[in-house]
Amino acid sequence: MVLVLGIESSCDETAAALVDGERRIVAQRIASQDDAHRPYGGVVPEIAARAHAERIAPLIAAVLADAGLELGDVDAIAATAGPGLIGGVMVGLVTAKALAMASDKPLIAVNHLEGHALSPRLADPALQFPYLLLLVSGGHCQVLRVEGVGQYRRLATTIDDALGEAFDKTAKILGLGFPGGPAVERLAREGNPKAVPLPRPLLGSAEPHFSFAGLKSAALRAKQAMDGAGASTSSARAGVVTKPNPARPEPVEGPALSPPSYTDADIAAAFQQAALDCVIDRTRRALTESGGLTALVVAGGVAANQTIRGGLEALAAEFGLPFVAPPLALCTDNAAMIAWAGQERLAQNNFAPDPLDIAARPRWPLDPDAAPVRGAGVKA
């Protein structure tokens, strides 16, 4: 039985896993760095790189021990070689190179996005090519036609923020802490999505792409409006007497603006609904333009979101396609998907190990032929 060791270190999870050719995750461990980054409200690349360097060797040793195996029992070593935070990627890739060299086993340099793109096939043996993949993570929001291992055609991407990034920023606006996506989803359950009107950027647009920056900014303005109005009403309700401030002129009496009467939960729910509407509209467009598909598939961290999953499931049904979403633990960053991508590569007729001098890549588009899109800060 072919056994691949996978290593993942492109963002803030240090992870190692052993996956065999029968799709069994023989052992896996994930060391999250959430606590180290929480005070900063986001991932700090330098802290991430140092944490990966401290944790990666003991983590790999622990995964081998969990399986009762040694490095010599492994057939190949797969590691994320990009895209991602370059310090972390280098730690994982250099570790994989050292292990490959010491054990004389093939090195497989995996594109992190390819790990996400193929992860649904680890969970579902029946999933065949070509499928339409919505890849939604902290750094990416893309629709890809997955035609085979190493064959990815990008049909759409974001012209500004990634979807997970928009979730994280909205969480920050609402003071929900880090990581933000799951917190926004939890709070949204208590809110009314119709209570706050938010825009749906590029909905119905002739171009295929996504945009979330305007939605996030609208969520910020809604929060500011709510806090502005809420502060005065709550102090009035509590009977607080405020001293006149000479630096600030007394407000001129005029027609009263009705204060927004929504809550943080309403903003979270409205944001999530607007994001979902955009995702469905853009994915529907891609499905309409792309024929011969076997399934609609979602992967990446935001695929853990139940509302997004539910919307996509209904969309797949509209097109008569099966809907495939990996289990939650395979959606967020993990090393089992990297080991599985290694298995898929090994199974190719023309498999060749990667050279030991292969470079880590901070940017590494899955579809190198995809045309550049308009807009600043474009994610590859």
Q: Which of 160, 168, 264, 266 binds ligand KG4 (CB under 6 A)?
A: 168
Give the shortest CB-253-to-Zn ion separation in angstroms.
55
Stretch binding ligand KG4 (CB under 6 A), from 43-51, 179-187, 211-219, 357-365? 179-187
Give the shortest CB-305-to-ligand KG4 separation in angstroms.
3
Give the shortest CB-165-to-ligand KG4 separation in angstroms.
6
List the alpha helices (DSSP H) in 290-376.
306-318, 328-331, 336-346
Q: Which of 57, 84, 60 has its CA nearest to residue 5? A: 60
Q: Is 333 in the site for Zn ion (CB under 5 A)?
A: yes
Q: Is 301 in the site for ligand KG4 (CB under 6 A)?
A: yes
Q: Is 82 in the site for ligand KG4 (CB under 6 A)?
A: no
Q: Is 193 in the site for ligand KG4 (CB under 6 A)?
A: no
Q: Is 344 in the site for ligand KG4 (CB under 6 A)?
A: no
Return the one option of ligand KG4, Zn ion, none that residue 342 interacts with (CB less than 5 to 8 A, by type): none
Alpha-carbon Rg for the chain in angstroms: 23
Between CA 221 and CA 248 the distance in angstroms is: 23
Q: Is 167 in the site for ligand KG4 (CB under 6 A)?
A: yes
Between CA 53 and CA 94 the distance in angstroms is: 10
Stretch binding Zn ion (CB under 5 A), from 71-79, 137-145, 165-173, 283-291? 137-145
Give the shortest CB-259-to-ligand KG4 separation in angstroms.
29
Smaller CB separation from ligand KG4, 268 or 296: 268
Question: Which bin fits 104, alpha (ψ -120 to 50), beta or left (φ > 0)?
Answer: left
Torsion of CA 33, 34, 39, 41, to 10 degrees: 120
Q: Is 333 in the site for ligand KG4 (CB under 6 A)?
A: yes
Give the shortest CB-112-to-ligand KG4 separation in angstroms.
6
Helix (H, G, I), strand (E, B) or coil at 159: coil
Q: Tokens 């005065």, residue?
A: 232
Q: Is 260 in the site for ligand KG4 (CB under 6 A)?
A: no
Q: Which of 52, 159, 186, 138 has its CA nearest to residue 332? A: 138
Q: In this structure, are residues 314 and 308 in contact, taking their beta carbons and an 8 Å threshold? A: no
Between CA 16 and CA 5 the distance in angstroms is: 7
Interface residues with Zn ion (CB under 5 A)? 137, 333
